[in-house]
Amino acid sequence: MIQSVAFIGLGAMGYRMAAHLPQHFDTVMVWNRNFAKAEQHAAEYATHAVSLEAAAQADIIFSCLPTSADVEQLIQTLDIKKGAIWVDCTSGVPDSAKKLAQDLAEKDVTFLDAPVSGQTIGAENGTLTVMVGGDIKAFEKALPAMQAFGGLIKHVGESGAGFAVKAVNNMLMAVNLCAVAEGFTTLKAHGVDLTEALDCINASSGKSMVTETVLPQRILNRSFPLTFALPLLAKDSGIAVDLAREAKLSTPVLSIAQNMIQAASALSDKESDFSSAVKMYESWSKITLE
Ligand code: NDP
Q: Nearest residue CA, atom 18 of ligand 1?
A: 70
**pLDDT value for 95:** 98
Q: Model confidence over 15-67: pLDDT tens digits?
A: 999 999 999 999 999 999 999 999 999 999 999 999 999 999 999 999 999 99
Our answer on whether the CB atom of 57 is closer than 6 Å to any ligand 1 atom is no
- Taking residues 274-280, what's their average pLDDT? 98
Residue 12 CA to ligand 1 center (angstroms) comes to 7
- Judged by DSSP in three states, 130 sits in strand
**pLDDT value for 6:** 98
CATH number of this structure's domain 164-285: 1.10.1040.10
Residue 163 CA to ligand 1 center (angstroms) comes to 15
Q: Model confidence over 116-162: pLDDT tens digits?
A: 999 999 999 999 999 999 999 999 999 999 999 999 999 999 999 99
Our answer on whether the CB atom of 239 is closer than 6 Å to any ligand 1 atom is no
Q: CA Rg, the chain, in Å?
A: 20
- CATH 1.10.1040.10 maps onto the chain at 164-285
- CATH 3.40.50.720 maps onto the chain at 4-158
260: pLDDT strictly greater than 90: yes
Our answer on whether the CB atom of 117 is closer than 6 Å to any ligand 1 atom is yes
Q: Which atom of ligand 1 is nearest to the CA of 70?
A: 18
Confidence of residue 266 (pLDDT cuts 50, 70, 90): very high
User: Which percentage of the chain shows pLDDT scores above 70?
Assistant: 100
**pLDDT value for 171:** 98
Our answer on whether the CB atom of 114 is closer than 6 Å to any ligand 1 atom is no
Please tell me the CATH superfamily of domain 4-158, with its number.
NAD(P)-binding Rossmann-like Domain (3.40.50.720)
**pLDDT value for 1:** 84
**pLDDT value for 17:** 98
Nearest to 272 by CA among 211, 228, 235, 209: 228
d(CA 78, CA 165): 28
Nearest to 55 by CA among 24, 13, 98, 86: 86
Residue 223 CA to ligand 1 center (angstroms) comes to 22
37 catalytic per annotation: no
Nearest to 104 by CA among 67, 142, 75, 141: 75
pTM strictly above 0.95: yes
Nearest to 119 by CA among 23, 5, 17: 17
Nearest to 29 by CA among 65, 62, 2, 1: 62
Q: Which atom of ligand 1 is nearest to the CA of 74?
A: 19
- Which helix (H) or strand (E) is 111 found in, with range? strand 110-113
Confidence of residue 275 (pLDDT cuts 50, 70, 90): very high
